Structure 1
């Protein structure tokens, strides 16, 4: 049996930019919103703060859940996700971001973080790609976005 993983991702805007974790692997540069798995007995707000600190060295105020997406690796045509991964991701508004330290525990292949101009999102290898326009317009039309990449 493969456990369902629940993660939280910070959606943090500054002017016309979006905070992204920057990664490099054999595909080149790719980007995701900072965040990761919620640990056993960890609350959503604690996971939100821990993941931001680990990946960006920053803190922010946690806002509302903007949307939820589901990832089922076995239903996707990719070799870059762990086999049998089934993950629910909660994308949460983050405001008042402030840098307080160096990233303490970046993800595998993470090389840093960037404030990416919103108009550059379509040019990037960015996940979830299907949500690019929603991130650019800051309009999330429904809470559950389904199984998307």
Structure 2
């Protein structure tokens, strides 16, 4: 039996922009919210703090879960995810973000982070694409969003 991976992602707004981790590979530039997997014996808030520091050099207060997304790589037509990946992503509201250090441990293909204007989310390669309107309006109508791209 394969394990389900749990990850936490920071939803951090500043004015009319959203904090995103910026990546580059053969698709060009693409973006996700900062965050990543919860390690064994690590609490959700510890993973939140660690991932935010690694990917942005920032600290913030972790708020409530806004929504949950499920990723089943075998059901997607992509070679960019590990085979058989089954992941639950918890997207949490974030307040009081501030950069306190240089990012120290970028993920594979990550080249930095950006404050992306909300009105540009439709024009970039952003995951989860299905949630763009919710991020733009800051309206998350249900907690479990299911398996979405």
CA distance in 2, matches of 1:76, 1:2: 17
CA distance in 2, matches of 1:75, 1:132: 21
TM-score computed with the length of structure 1 as normaliser: 0.99
RMSD of aligned C-alpha atoms? Answer: 0.4
Partner residue, 2:141: 141
Q: CA deviation at 1:25?
A: 0.1
Partner residue, 1:9: 9
Partner residue, 2:31: 31
Which residues of 2 match residues 103-118 of structure 1 at below 5 A? 103-118=103-118
Q: CA deviation at 1:2?
A: 1.9
Could you tell me which runs of 5 or more consecutive residues in structure 1 were left unpaired when the two chains were aligned. none
CA distance in 1, matches of 2:122, 2:79: 22
Deviations 1:23-52 (A, max 9, x none): 000000000000000001100111000000
TM-score computed with the length of structure 2 as normaliser: 0.99
Partner residue, 1:55: 55
Q: CA deviation at 1:3?
A: 1.3
CA distance in 1, matches of 2:102, 2:14: 19
CA distance in 2, matches of 1:50, 1:2: 25
CA distance in 1, matches of 2:132, 2:39: 28
Q: CA deviation at 1:82?
A: 0.5
Partner residue, 2:19: 19
CA distance in 1, matches of 2:104, 2:46: 16
Could you tell me which runs of 5 or more consecutive residues in structure 2 were left unpaired when the two chains were aligned. none
Partner residue, 2:96: 96
Q: CA deviation at 1:94?
A: 0.7
Aligned length: 149
Partner residue, 1:68: 68
Partner residue, 1:127: 127
CA distance in 1, matches of 2:122, 2:14: 18
